[in-house]
Amino acid sequence: MKFEAGEALDKAVEVFWQRGFAATTPQALADELGIGRGSLYNTFKSKHHLFNLALHRYSASRITALAAGLEGPGPILPRLREAMRTLAGIGDHRYGCLIVNSVAELGSTDEGVADVAKDLFLQIEHTFRAALERARTTGELTPDRVPADSASALLAAVIGTSVLAKSGADPTQLNRILDATLKDV
């Protein structure tokens, strides 16, 4: 059976996002990806290697979507609010953020997971800061606001809200948290 590795990797992202690393067996991965275990190992070497590839794929897609969502003309703060909701996992699912979940599960024991997380969080913070600088330039934020400080606060709110989303918290509460944080930038 022939398969496309990129499509299989996208499916693996979903499986790990829903179940986590430890609860995902190689057989479950093979079943969900629609491939044999031999193909799984021949293509992806190991469950752990596939997991790392999935984390990188997820991170790249998140930062690309974040940057695209914050670009363009018009008010920045409403787009920033929506980006924060998406990053935190509020809406279509209750998985939270794959990276935050993975750090909670493995971050202190898996240097690769910690490195992917640090890189993604730094990129998110940088993207938030750039958006807030544009918002300050256009008058959406007052000149006394420090975009770097506000970007750090927004990142912390997104990470915390993601954990709450994963725990099944009410989306209304989660939106209130993000709105309050964004209001204080």
- Ordered by start, the domain boundaries in the chain are 5-183
Which pLDDT tens digit goes with each residue over 3-15? 688 898 999 999 9
Q: What is the pLDDT of residue 2?
A: 61
Which pLDDT tens digit goes with each residue over 112-154? 999 999 999 999 999 999 999 999 999 999 888 899 999 999 9
Classified by CATH at the fold level, domain 5-183 comes out as: Tetracycline Repressor; domain 2 (1.10.357)
* Residue (of 155, 89, 154, 167) closest to 120 by Cα position: 155
For residue 93, pLDDT over 80 is answered with no
For residue 40, pLDDT over 90 is answered with no
Contacts 24+ apart (CB under 8 A), 142-150: 145/185, 150/185
Which pLDDT tens digit goes with each residue over 94-122? 788 999 999 999 988 999 999 999 999 99
pTM of the model: 0.91
Neighbours of 49 (CB within 10 A): 13
DSSP letters of 53-93? HHHHHHHHHHHHHHHHHH-SSS-SHHHHHHHHHHHHT-SS-
Which pLDDT tens digit goes with each residue over 58-70? 999 999 999 999 9
The CA-based angle 24-28-34, given to 5 degrees, is 135
For residue 17, pLDDT over 60 is answered with yes
- At residue 165, what is the residue type? A
Assign 1 a pLDDT band (cuts: 50, 70, 90): very low
Give yes or no for a contact between 67 and 49, defined as CB atoms under 8 angstroms apart: no
